[in-house]
Protein backbone atom coordinates (compact mmCIF):
# COMPACT_ATOMS: atom_id res chain seq x y z
CA UNK A 1 0.00 0.00 0.00
CA UNK A 2 1.35 3.46 -0.92
CA UNK A 3 2.33 5.17 2.32
CA UNK A 4 1.58 8.65 0.96
CA UNK A 5 -1.87 9.68 2.08
CA UNK A 6 -3.99 10.58 -0.97
CA UNK A 7 -5.85 13.87 -0.65
CA UNK A 8 -8.48 13.38 -3.32
CA UNK A 9 -10.26 10.63 -5.18
CA UNK A 10 -9.10 10.10 -8.75
CA UNK A 11 -11.77 9.48 -11.38
CA UNK A 12 -14.47 7.01 -10.47
CA UNK A 13 -12.24 4.48 -8.70
CA UNK A 14 -13.69 3.27 -5.41
CA UNK A 15 -11.00 2.85 -2.70
CA UNK A 16 -9.94 -0.58 -1.50
CA UNK A 17 -10.46 -1.30 2.21
CA UNK A 18 -9.47 -4.90 3.03
CA UNK A 19 -10.31 -5.60 6.65
CA UNK A 20 -7.10 -7.52 7.33
CA UNK A 21 -5.07 -4.57 6.07
CA UNK A 22 -6.22 -2.19 8.79
CA UNK A 23 -7.83 -4.30 11.51
CA UNK A 24 -5.76 -2.83 14.38
CA UNK A 25 -6.23 0.75 13.19
CA UNK A 26 -9.94 0.12 12.80
CA UNK A 27 -10.20 -1.13 16.39
CA UNK A 28 -8.32 1.88 17.76
CA UNK A 29 -10.18 4.41 15.63
CA UNK A 30 -13.50 2.87 16.68
CA UNK A 31 -12.63 3.57 20.32
CA UNK A 32 -11.45 7.12 19.55
CA UNK A 33 -14.75 7.78 17.80
CA UNK A 34 -16.62 6.46 20.82
CA UNK A 35 -14.77 8.98 23.06
CA UNK A 36 -15.98 11.83 20.86
CA UNK A 37 -19.40 10.25 20.41
CA UNK A 38 -19.91 10.06 24.17
CA UNK A 39 -19.06 13.78 24.41
CA UNK A 40 -21.60 14.51 21.68
CA UNK A 41 -24.21 12.43 23.49
CA UNK A 42 -23.63 14.42 26.68
CA UNK A 43 -23.79 17.85 25.02
CA UNK A 44 -26.78 17.51 22.68
CA UNK A 45 -30.49 17.16 23.46
CA UNK A 46 -31.98 13.78 22.68
CA UNK A 47 -33.70 13.55 19.31
CA UNK A 48 -35.70 10.67 17.90
CA UNK A 49 -33.78 7.40 17.55
CA UNK A 50 -30.64 9.06 19.03
CA UNK A 51 -29.91 10.91 15.80
CA UNK A 52 -28.50 13.78 17.87
CA UNK A 53 -25.29 11.88 18.57
CA UNK A 54 -24.39 10.69 15.07
CA UNK A 55 -21.57 12.00 12.90
CA UNK A 56 -21.85 13.29 9.33
CA UNK A 57 -19.45 12.70 6.44
CA UNK A 58 -17.64 15.96 5.67
CA UNK A 59 -15.10 17.27 3.15
CA UNK A 60 -12.12 16.11 5.23
CA UNK A 61 -13.54 13.46 7.52
CA UNK A 62 -16.33 12.91 10.04
CA UNK A 63 -17.88 15.76 12.01
CA UNK A 64 -20.19 15.95 15.01
CA UNK A 65 -23.33 18.07 15.02
CA UNK A 66 -22.96 21.45 16.78
CA UNK A 67 -22.86 20.94 20.54
CA UNK A 68 -24.00 23.58 23.04
CA UNK A 69 -21.28 24.27 25.60
CA UNK A 70 -22.84 27.06 27.67
CA UNK A 71 -22.96 30.85 27.46
CA UNK A 72 -24.34 30.62 23.94
CA UNK A 73 -21.23 28.89 22.56
CA UNK A 74 -21.27 26.02 20.10
CA UNK A 75 -18.58 23.42 19.46
CA UNK A 76 -17.88 20.85 16.76
CA UNK A 77 -15.31 18.07 16.70
CA UNK A 78 -13.96 16.78 13.37
CA UNK A 79 -11.94 13.68 12.66
CA UNK A 80 -9.78 15.13 9.87
CA UNK A 81 -8.48 12.20 7.84
CA UNK A 82 -6.42 14.45 5.55
CA UNK A 83 -4.27 16.19 8.18
CA UNK A 84 -4.89 13.36 10.68
CA UNK A 85 -6.04 15.47 13.57
CA UNK A 86 -9.11 15.70 15.74
CA UNK A 87 -10.04 19.36 15.30
CA UNK A 88 -12.08 20.94 18.11
CA UNK A 89 -13.62 24.31 17.15
CA UNK A 90 -15.75 26.68 19.22
CA UNK A 91 -17.99 29.49 18.01
CA UNK A 92 -15.99 32.07 20.01
CA UNK A 93 -12.90 31.35 17.88
CA UNK A 94 -11.26 28.84 20.18
CA UNK A 95 -9.67 25.89 18.41
CA UNK A 96 -7.45 23.02 19.48
CA UNK A 97 -6.13 19.90 17.76
CA UNK A 98 -5.34 16.40 18.93
CA UNK A 99 -2.90 14.47 16.75
CA UNK A 100 -4.19 11.23 15.28
CA UNK A 101 -1.10 9.02 15.37
CA UNK A 102 -0.18 5.73 17.01
CA UNK A 103 -1.31 6.32 20.59
CA UNK A 104 -3.37 4.34 23.07
CA UNK A 105 -7.03 4.97 23.69
CA UNK A 106 -6.13 6.04 27.23
CA UNK A 107 -3.67 8.63 25.90
CA UNK A 108 -6.14 9.88 23.29
CA UNK A 109 -8.89 10.16 25.90
CA UNK A 110 -6.67 12.21 28.24
CA UNK A 111 -5.57 14.47 25.38
CA UNK A 112 -9.16 15.14 24.30
CA UNK A 113 -10.33 15.92 27.83
CA UNK A 114 -7.33 18.23 28.36
CA UNK A 115 -8.18 20.08 25.14
CA UNK A 116 -11.77 20.53 26.27
CA UNK A 117 -10.61 21.92 29.61
CA UNK A 118 -8.31 24.38 27.83
CA UNK A 119 -11.35 25.59 25.85
CA UNK A 120 -13.39 25.96 29.06
CA UNK A 121 -15.61 23.05 28.10
CA UNK A 122 -16.52 20.86 31.05
CA UNK A 123 -18.29 17.56 30.43
CA UNK A 124 -18.51 14.19 32.13
CA UNK A 125 -19.04 11.04 30.10
CA UNK A 126 -19.54 7.35 30.75
CA UNK A 127 -16.17 5.97 29.68
CA UNK A 128 -17.22 2.39 28.97
CA UNK A 129 -17.32 1.59 25.23
CA UNK A 130 -20.53 0.19 23.79
CA UNK A 131 -21.52 -2.37 21.15
CA UNK A 132 -18.25 -4.31 21.35
CA UNK A 133 -17.30 -7.53 23.18
CA UNK A 134 -15.16 -7.27 26.33
CA UNK A 135 -15.12 -3.47 26.60
CA UNK A 136 -12.37 -1.65 28.51
CA UNK A 137 -12.85 1.85 29.89
CA UNK A 138 -11.19 4.55 27.82
CA UNK A 139 -8.86 5.67 30.61
CA UNK A 140 -7.65 2.09 31.10
CA UNK A 141 -7.30 0.99 27.47
CA UNK A 142 -3.60 0.71 26.69
CA UNK A 143 -4.08 -2.21 24.29
CA UNK A 144 -5.53 -0.37 21.28
CA UNK A 145 -2.97 2.10 19.97
CA UNK A 146 -2.50 1.55 16.22
CA UNK A 147 -3.03 4.23 13.59
CA UNK A 148 -2.19 3.83 9.90
CA UNK A 149 -2.97 7.18 8.24
CA UNK A 150 -3.27 5.67 4.76
CA UNK A 151 -5.83 3.12 5.90
CA UNK A 152 -7.76 5.70 7.92
CA UNK A 153 -7.85 8.00 4.91
CA UNK A 154 -9.09 5.13 2.71
CA UNK A 155 -11.87 4.44 5.21
CA UNK A 156 -13.06 8.06 5.01
CA UNK A 157 -12.79 8.08 1.20
CA UNK A 158 -15.04 5.01 1.06
CA UNK A 159 -17.61 6.86 3.18
CA UNK A 160 -17.26 9.96 0.98
CA UNK A 161 -17.74 7.84 -2.16
CA UNK A 162 -20.77 5.98 -0.84
CA UNK A 163 -22.54 8.98 0.71
CA UNK A 164 -23.72 10.62 -2.57
CA UNK A 165 -25.39 7.36 -3.61
CA UNK A 166 -27.12 7.07 -0.25
CA UNK A 167 -28.20 10.72 -0.49
CA UNK A 168 -29.78 10.18 -3.91
CA UNK A 169 -31.59 7.12 -2.57
CA UNK A 170 -32.80 9.10 0.45
CA UNK A 171 -34.12 11.89 -1.81
CA UNK A 172 -36.56 9.51 -3.51
CA UNK A 173 -38.48 9.04 -0.25
CA UNK A 174 -40.84 11.72 1.10
CA UNK A 175 -41.85 9.91 4.27
CA UNK A 176 -39.85 10.13 7.46
CA UNK A 177 -36.24 9.16 6.92
CA UNK A 178 -33.00 9.56 8.79
CA UNK A 179 -30.11 11.64 7.55
CA UNK A 180 -27.26 9.77 5.93
CA UNK A 181 -25.25 9.56 9.13
CA UNK A 182 -22.51 7.61 10.89
CA UNK A 183 -23.17 5.65 14.07
CA UNK A 184 -20.00 5.58 16.15
CA UNK A 185 -21.24 2.73 18.36
CA UNK A 186 -21.60 0.22 15.54
CA UNK A 187 -19.17 2.04 13.22
CA UNK A 188 -21.53 2.13 10.24
CA UNK A 189 -22.90 4.66 7.78
CA UNK A 190 -26.67 4.34 7.57
CA UNK A 191 -29.87 5.74 6.10
CA UNK A 192 -33.24 4.55 7.38
CA UNK A 193 -36.79 4.87 6.03
CA UNK A 194 -39.95 4.69 8.15
CA UNK A 195 -43.47 3.57 7.29
CA UNK A 196 -45.00 5.86 9.92
CA UNK A 197 -46.49 2.94 11.85
CA UNK A 198 -45.53 1.91 15.36
CA UNK A 199 -43.57 -1.33 15.63
CA UNK A 200 -44.38 -4.09 18.13
CA UNK A 201 -42.59 -3.77 21.46
CA UNK A 202 -39.38 -5.78 21.78
CA UNK A 203 -39.51 -7.74 25.06
CA UNK A 204 -36.36 -7.28 27.11
CA UNK A 205 -34.88 -4.62 24.81
CA UNK A 206 -32.67 -1.94 26.35
CA UNK A 207 -33.67 1.72 26.21
CA UNK A 208 -31.60 2.49 23.11
CA UNK A 209 -32.99 -0.45 21.16
CA UNK A 210 -36.56 0.40 22.14
CA UNK A 211 -36.06 3.96 20.89
CA UNK A 212 -34.27 2.94 17.70
CA UNK A 213 -36.94 0.43 16.70
CA UNK A 214 -40.07 2.09 18.07
CA UNK A 215 -41.44 2.35 14.51
CA UNK A 216 -41.29 0.16 11.42
CA UNK A 217 -38.05 0.68 9.49
CA UNK A 218 -36.19 -0.38 6.40
CA UNK A 219 -32.53 0.44 6.86
CA UNK A 220 -29.49 0.41 4.62
CA UNK A 221 -25.86 1.03 5.35
CA UNK A 222 -22.18 0.30 5.03
CA UNK A 223 -19.70 -0.92 7.59
CA UNK A 224 -16.06 -2.08 7.41
CA UNK A 225 -16.88 -5.59 8.57
CA UNK A 226 -16.92 -7.41 11.89
CA UNK A 227 -18.27 -10.54 13.54
CA UNK A 228 -19.69 -13.01 11.02
CA UNK A 229 -18.92 -10.75 8.02
CA UNK A 230 -15.15 -10.34 7.82
CA UNK A 231 -15.08 -7.89 4.94
CA UNK A 232 -16.48 -4.43 4.22
CA UNK A 233 -20.09 -4.69 3.10
CA UNK A 234 -23.39 -2.98 2.48
CA UNK A 235 -26.45 -4.19 4.35
CA UNK A 236 -30.23 -3.97 4.16
CA UNK A 237 -32.79 -5.07 6.73
CA UNK A 238 -36.39 -4.50 7.74
CA UNK A 239 -37.59 -4.33 11.33
CA UNK A 240 -39.86 -6.02 11.96
CA UNK A 241 -38.93 -8.33 9.11
CA UNK A 242 -41.94 -9.29 6.95
CA UNK A 243 -42.56 -12.88 5.95
CA UNK A 244 -40.86 -13.74 2.69
CA UNK A 245 -38.15 -11.10 2.88
CA UNK A 246 -35.26 -13.51 3.29
CA UNK A 247 -36.13 -15.24 0.01
CA UNK A 248 -36.91 -12.08 -1.95
CA UNK A 249 -35.25 -11.57 -5.32
CA UNK A 250 -32.79 -8.68 -5.04
CA UNK A 251 -29.88 -7.42 -7.11
CA UNK A 252 -27.03 -7.35 -7.96
CA UNK A 253 -26.21 -11.04 -8.10
CA UNK A 254 -23.52 -10.78 -5.40
CA UNK A 255 -26.13 -9.85 -2.74
CA UNK A 256 -27.24 -12.58 -0.35
CA UNK A 257 -29.34 -13.00 2.78
CA UNK A 258 -27.29 -13.60 5.93
CA UNK A 259 -29.30 -15.81 8.27
CA UNK A 260 -27.34 -15.00 11.43
CA UNK A 261 -27.64 -11.25 10.93
CA UNK A 262 -31.16 -11.35 9.44
CA UNK A 263 -30.24 -8.92 6.69
CA UNK A 264 -29.13 -8.81 3.09
CA UNK A 265 -25.39 -8.36 2.56
CA UNK A 266 -23.62 -7.02 -0.50
CA UNK A 267 -19.81 -7.26 -0.31
CA UNK A 268 -18.16 -3.89 -0.90
CA UNK A 269 -15.53 -5.41 -3.18
CA UNK A 270 -18.23 -6.84 -5.44
CA UNK A 271 -19.49 -3.29 -5.93
CA UNK A 272 -16.05 -1.68 -6.13
CA UNK A 273 -14.87 -4.08 -8.84
CA UNK A 274 -18.03 -3.94 -10.95
CA UNK A 275 -18.35 -2.01 -14.21
CA UNK A 276 -20.78 0.48 -12.62
CA UNK A 277 -20.31 0.61 -8.82
CA UNK A 278 -22.81 3.39 -8.15
CA UNK A 279 -25.46 1.69 -10.30
CA UNK A 280 -24.93 -1.65 -8.56
CA UNK A 281 -25.19 -0.05 -5.14
CA UNK A 282 -28.36 1.82 -6.10
CA UNK A 283 -29.84 -1.42 -7.43
CA UNK A 284 -29.17 -3.06 -4.07
CA UNK A 285 -30.79 -0.18 -2.20
CA UNK A 286 -33.81 -0.06 -4.49
CA UNK A 287 -34.53 -3.78 -4.75
CA UNK A 288 -34.13 -4.57 -1.06
CA UNK A 289 -36.32 -1.61 -0.13
CA UNK A 290 -38.98 -2.51 -2.71
CA UNK A 291 -39.11 -6.11 -1.53
CA UNK A 292 -39.40 -5.19 2.15
CA UNK A 293 -41.92 -2.40 1.59
CA UNK A 294 -44.16 -4.55 -0.59
CA UNK A 295 -44.09 -7.50 1.80
CA UNK A 296 -44.72 -5.28 4.83
CA UNK A 297 -47.56 -3.51 2.98
CA UNK A 298 -46.19 0.01 3.32
CA UNK A 299 -48.33 2.77 1.80
CA UNK A 300 -45.77 3.40 -0.89
CA UNK A 301 -47.88 5.81 -2.92
CA UNK A 302 -47.78 8.29 -0.02
CA UNK A 303 -44.15 7.66 0.91
CA UNK A 304 -42.27 7.72 -2.37
CA UNK A 305 -41.51 10.64 -4.67
CA UNK A 306 -43.21 10.36 -8.03
* Segment 22-47, tens digit of pLDDT: 999 999 999 999 999 999 999 999 88
Residue 10's pLDDT band (cuts 50, 70, 90): very low
Rounded distance between C-alpha atoms, residue 239 and residue 237, angstroms? 7
- 72 in helix, strand or coil? coil
Residue 277 dihedral angles phi and psi, to the nearest 5°: -55, -45
Summarised one tens digit per residue, pLDDT across range 84-140 is 999 999 999 999 999 999 999 999 999 999 999 999 999 999 999 999 999 999 999
Distances (CA, A) of 286 to 11, 48, 162, 290, 298: 25, 25, 15, 6, 15
For residues 261 and 218, the answer to whether their CB atoms sit within 8 Å is: no
Rounded distance between C-alpha atoms, residue 292 and residue 218, angstroms? 7
- 62 in helix, strand or coil? strand
Chain-centre distance of CA 7, in angstroms? 21
- Residue 258 clears pLDDT 50, i.e. is over it: yes
Residue 12's pLDDT band (cuts 50, 70, 90): low
Q: pTM value?
A: 0.94
Strands 74-80, 188-198: pairing kind:
unpaired
63: Cα within 13 Å, side-chain hemisphere:
13
- 61 in helix, strand or coil? strand
Distances (CA, A) of 37 to 52, 67, 89, 173, 185: 10, 11, 16, 28, 8
Cα-based angle 151, 159, 274 (whole degrees, multiple of 5): 90
Residue predicted with more confidence, 210 or 177: 177
**Percentage of the chain with pLDDT > 70?**
96
Amino acid sequence: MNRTTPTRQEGQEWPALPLDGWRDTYATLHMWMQVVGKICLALTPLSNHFWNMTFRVASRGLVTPPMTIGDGRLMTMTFDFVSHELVVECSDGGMQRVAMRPRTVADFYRAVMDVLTSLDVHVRIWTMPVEIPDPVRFEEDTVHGSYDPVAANAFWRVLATVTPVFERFRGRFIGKSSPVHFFWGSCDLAVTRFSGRRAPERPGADAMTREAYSHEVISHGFWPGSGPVQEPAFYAYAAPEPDGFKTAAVSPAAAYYHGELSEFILPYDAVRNSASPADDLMSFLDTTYAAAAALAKWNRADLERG
